[in-house]
Copies of this chain bind each other. A is one copy, B any other.
Amino acid sequence: MSFRTAALRAARHTNAKNRLPLARASTRAYSTPPSRPNSSSWRQQLATSFAVGLAGTLGYRYFSQEKSQVQCDGAPLVEAIDTHGYPWSPVDALEKDDPQNPMRIRMATWVKSLQDHIVNTMEEIESSVEPNSFSPSPEAPKFLRDTWIRKEGGEGSSCVLAGGRVFEKAGINVSIVHGMLPPRAQKAMLPDHPSLPEPTDTKPFFATGLSIVIHPRNPHIPTVHLNYRYFEIENPADPSKPVTWWFGGGSDLTPSYLVEEDCVHFHKELKKACDKHDEKYWPDFKEACDKYFFITHRGESRGVGGIFFDDLTTSSPINQGGAQPKTQEDLFNFVKDASGAFLPAYVPIVYKHLARTWTDEERRWQQLRRGRYVEFNLVYDRGTKFGLHTPGARIESILMSLPETARWEYMTPVGADGSNSPEEELQKVLKTPREWV
């Protein structure tokens, strides 16, 4: 069964089972996607990548086209989706890596290439959908690509899509910054980064990262977040030997409605990327994610989790006790696999629910969930807090993660305890994180 067939079947089924009258008269129909590079052409590219010695990073998988079961909620199984040969793997990103370069250059090259690949994929999704009331132009919505220079050193590239057919707001940002870090700023990092040497004087630093937040319109498509970063305190005498360095990152899923199969799929993809490198990674980083993305004042998680890690170096406790010591290259390969798992983990879930319609009540619940998203990001998120309190920081980029619209209701009846509703079902899971795989 092609994705089109599955999606239309799903849409019919969904209409029939909607709990409330449909808010909109017309179903936003899923149209056949425009032609994309076919499987053989990307396989050729993949072969090139292998040839330049990057086999270690190629753990991405493609979804089988054979399975055609339809899940109980009326949508096709995530793994049954026909990808039409579009590469989930950031093949071009892999090609650009040059092991001769120092890690800061390699990581910057990786995040820029991955940014490009993910932006292109999201634009593909936009163009696969007919114009609708949110974006009536016959031309498919494109990201606004915007670069900036940091006066104190470095640059950034923000790719933001607002008012899309599918995505209400999506930001895919890269920053590559360097400069001098005063002892006070180093001290502030110490609690989270025990590998940092005791600060005595101002030190040159370098930091690069990719940060993604995607808020779709459809309440049945989850919000997703990714952040991967590399940080080093430079050694002015020998730029190839930083005083200290670490990787951090992760990605997590924030649905408004719980579809267990989606959660399992998302976590499976991340687990696979972790397991390839160290069996300890998955349980540890999954737990760290549940712990980090927790809205303490609500007593609930922001979403259904994923992975999260910080201060990952070769001397991190988790990297000790293996058969042989981990190298920086090992960790970079892990970071490439984990961040490269973003598309295969998320995009099939988007395609799966793309054709579903929604009711005003479902939209209202999504807006309430987005209110919680805002609460987490403004009250707890370390990156956001650090950014907001950094004089001269680019506020537009820092707050790109906030949804376009959000809602707060006093004592809302939506999803109330005992309502036995899909909304309450989600809240139960948010209060007690699950093991999905």
Contacts and interface: CB of A to CB of B under 8 A. Distances in A.
Contacts of A388: 296-297, 379
Interface stretch (A132-140, A202-210, A395-403): A395-403
Nearest to A402: B408
A106 B387 CA distance: 45
A217 to B, nearest CB: 14
A371 interface: yes
Interface residues of A, number: 35
A146 B411 CA distance: 10
A171 to B, nearest CB: 7
A210 B67 CA distance: 61
A77 interface: no
A387 B411 CA distance: 17
Centre residue among A158, A388, A403, A410 by max chain B CB count within 10 A:
A410
A405 B371 CA distance: 9
Given A297-B393, A298-B395, A410 B375 contact: no
A371 B411 CA distance: 21
A118 interface: no
B171 A410 contact: yes
A374 B411 CA distance: 18
Looking at chain A's contact residues, the main secondary structure is mixed
Contacts of A399: 375, 408
A367 interface: yes
A43 interface: no
Contact of A408 (B144, B146, B298, B404): B404
Contact of A162 (B296, B375, B379, B409): B409
A54 interface: no
Identical subunits present? 2
A406 interface: yes
Nearest to A390: B297
B407 A407 contact: no
A104 interface: no
A169 interface: yes
A407 B404 contact: yes
B410 A160 contact: yes
B378 A396 contact: no
A410 B297 contact: no
A146 B374 CA distance: 26
Contacts of A298: 395
A274 B395 CA distance: 37
Contacts of A160: 410-411
B404 A400 contact: no
A37 B322 CA distance: 83
A296 to B, nearest CB: 8
Contacts of A374: 374, 378, 406
Contacts of A297: 387-389, 393, 395, 398
A171 B410 CA distance: 9
Contacts of A398: 297
Contact of A371 (B171, B296, B402): B402
Contact of A411 (B144, B379, B404, B406): B144
Nearest to A406: B406
Contacts of A158: 410
B405 A406 contact: yes
Interface string A382-394: 0000011100010
25 contacts: A144-B410, A144-B411, A158-B410, A160-B411, A169-B408, A171-B410, A296-B388, A296-B389, A297-B387, A297-B388, A297-B389, A297-B393, A297-B395, A298-B395, A374-B374, A374-B378, A374-B406, A375-B378, A375-B399, A396-B411, A399-B408, A402-B408, A404-B409, A405-B405, A405-B407
Interface of A: 144, 146, 158, 160, 162, 169, 171, 296-298, 367, 371, 374-375, 378-379, 387-389, 393, 395-396, 398-400, 402-411
Given A378-B379, A396-B410, 13 more contacts: A158-B410, A169-B408, A296-B389, A297-B389, A297-B393, A374-B406, A375-B378, A375-B399, A379-B388, A399-B408, A400-B410, A402-B408, A403-B408
